[in-house]
Amino acid sequence: MRAVRVHEYHSEPRIDDIPEPTLQGPLDVIVKIGGAGVCRTDLHIVNGDWARAMNPGLPYVIGHENAGWVHEIGEGVTNVAVGDTVILHPQPSCGLCLPCRAGNDMHCANAFFPGLSDNDGGMAEYLRTTARACVKLDPETDPADVAALADAGITAYHAVRKAVPRLWPGTTAVVQGAGGLGHIGIQALAALCATRIVVVDRNPDALALAKEIGADETVISDGTHIDAVKDLTGGQGADVVLDFVAEQGAENDAWAMTAPDGFQYVIGYGGEFRAPTLDFVAGEKSVIGNIVGTYNDLVELMVLAQAGKVTLHTKQYTLDAALDALHDLDAGRVRGRAILVP
Q: Tens of pLDDT along 77-88?
A: 999 999 999 999
Indicate if the pLDDT at residue 327 is higher than 90: yes
The catalytic position among 41, 129, 218, 294 is 41
Let me know if 41 is a catalytic residue: yes
Which CATH homologous superfamily contains domain 2-151+292-341? Medium-chain alcohol dehydrogenases, catalytic domain (3.90.180.10)
Predicted local confidence at residue 204, as pLDDT: 94
Reduced to 3 states (helix: H, G, I; strand: E, B; else coil), residue 244 is coil
Q: What is the pLDDT of residues 135-157, one digit of tens each?
A: 999 999 999 999 999 998 999 99
Indicate if the pLDDT at residue 60 is higher than 90: yes
Indicate if the pLDDT at residue 68 is higher than 80: yes
For range 315-328, the mean pLDDT: 96
Indicate if the pLDDT at residue 25 is higher than 80: yes
Indicate if the pLDDT at residue 335 is higher than 80: no
* Exposed / middle / buried, residue 83 (Cβ in 10 Å: 0-12, 13-18, 19+): exposed
Which of 132, 129, 179, 124 has its CA nearest to residue 156? Answer: 179
Confidence of residue 125 (pLDDT cuts 50, 70, 90): very high
Task: Please answer whether residues 112 and 91 qualify as being in contact, where contact means their C-beta atoms are separated by less than 8 angstroms.
Answer: yes
For range 266-294, the mean pLDDT: 91
Domains of the chain, residue spans: 2-151+292-341, 154-289
Angstrom distance (rounded) from CA 202 to CA 219: 8
* Exposed / middle / buried, residue 95 (Cβ in 10 Å: 0-12, 13-18, 19+): middle
The catalytic position among 7, 44, 89, 233 is 44
Which CATH homologous superfamily contains domain 154-289? NAD(P)-binding Rossmann-like Domain (3.40.50.720)
